[in-house]
Amino acid sequence: MTSKAKDPKPRPTRNDAQRQSILEAASRLFIEKGFGGTNINDIADAVGSTRTALYYYFPSKETMLEALTEEVTEKASALAQSVSGRDELPADEALRLLIRQHAGLILSHPVQFRVVERSESSLPEPHRSAAQNARRALLNHFVRVIQRGIDGGQFRRGANARIAAFSIIGMCNWSAWWFDAGGEMPADTVADTIVDFGLRMLLPESPRRARASGIEDAVGQMREALTVFEAQLKTSPKR
């Protein structure tokens, strides 16, 4: 007797696809007209649906904003939590994964992220507080991993974990405002570049390379000084 293998991930249903289509249309309108300037009729027209049909999925535009916040802000916090608690991972690997996850999420939902950033104040309670808590939790997960790397010597001594975390998260978040999904550079390449920048700001320089570079610089400066000195000797009047 053979048993059918179960699909670990349920396939999206027609309702799921329609729900996502509504959220995408709402996101575009929230960006173009602002959250306050958009009404349900605008969204229904954009989707090609009736207002009544729209209510089947979302009873209000506020519930759409709540759903967008869950897809971006709260998901970002959950992804970061899944990494920050894995102390068996070396800190640099954990940070690499943190950045890659967060950048990937923003780059795959740039319009939604911009909507959430602009419209968080329009969220009703307790959703607004939940979104703010998720942002703080995201920052704390990054700080925890970075501080672990500083304490363990994987990252530069004296680095400020909180400032570094703000800087890295800022790089990821800002991509939502300039990334063009139809442009020449794919999202994966952008994410990898952000990962590289984020790690480079924290990884310590190799002591050997630093010493070698210092010697080379010193020799170069000596050669330049000798060249200038020789030129002065040639141009100075003979006595």
Q: What is the mean pLDDT of residues 5-10?
A: 47
Q: 57 or 16: whose pLDDT is higher?
A: 57
Angle between helices 40-47 and 14-33 (to 10 degrees): 120
CATH number, domain at 18?
Answer: 1.10.10.60
pLDDT of residue 45: 94
pTM (whole model) above 0.85: no
**Is 55 in the same domain as 72?**
no
pLDDT surpasses 90 at 227: no
Q: What is the pLDDT of residues 55-93, one digit of tens each?
A: 999 999 999 999 999 989 999 999 999 999 999 999 999
CATH of the domain at 169: 1.10.357.10
Number of domains in the chain: 3
Q: What is the pLDDT of residue 210?
A: 40
Residues 98 and 184 in one domain: yes
pLDDT at 115 over 80: yes
Cα 72–Cα 77–Cα 78 angle in degrees, nearest 5: 100
Is 45 a domain residue?
yes
Q: What's the whole-number mean pLDDT along residues 25-48?
A: 92
Residue 6 lies in a domain: no
Does some domain include residue 221?
yes
* More confident site: 221 or 162: 162
Q: Are residues 75 and 31 in the same domain?
A: no
Residues 150 and 223 grouped into a single domain: no
19 shares its domain with 98: no
Indicate if 83 and 185 belong to the same structural domain: yes
What local confidence, expressed as pLDDT, does residue 120 receive? Answer: 87
Residues 76 and 177 in one domain: yes
For residues 80 and 179, membership in a common domain is answered with yes
Q: What is the mean pLDDT of residues 91-106?
A: 96
Q: What is the per-residue pLDDT for 59?
A: 92
* Residue 185 included in any domain: yes
| Per-residue pLDDT at 205 | 74
Model confidence at 207, pLDDT cuts 50, 70, 90, reads very low
Task: Using pLDDT thresholds of 50, 70 and 90, give the confidence band for residue 215.
Answer: low
Residues 173 and 213 occupy one common structural domain: no
User: pLDDT digits over 44-62, tens only?
Assistant: 999 998 899 899 999 999 9
- Is residue 195 a part of any domain in this protein? yes
Amino acid 136 reads: R
Its domain, for residue 17, covers 13-59
- Confidence category of residue 154, pLDDT binned at 50, 70, 90: very high
Task: State CA 45 to chain mean position distance.
Answer: 32
- Give the pLDDT of residue 216: 59
Q: Are 36 and 98 in the same domain?
A: no
Q: Do 156 and 218 reside in the same domain of the chain?
A: no
Q: Is the pLDDT of residue 212 over 80?
A: no
Tokens 């990898």 — which residue? 192
Is there a domain that residue 1 lies in? no
Q: Which pLDDT band holds residue 182 (cuts at 50, 70, 90)?
A: confident
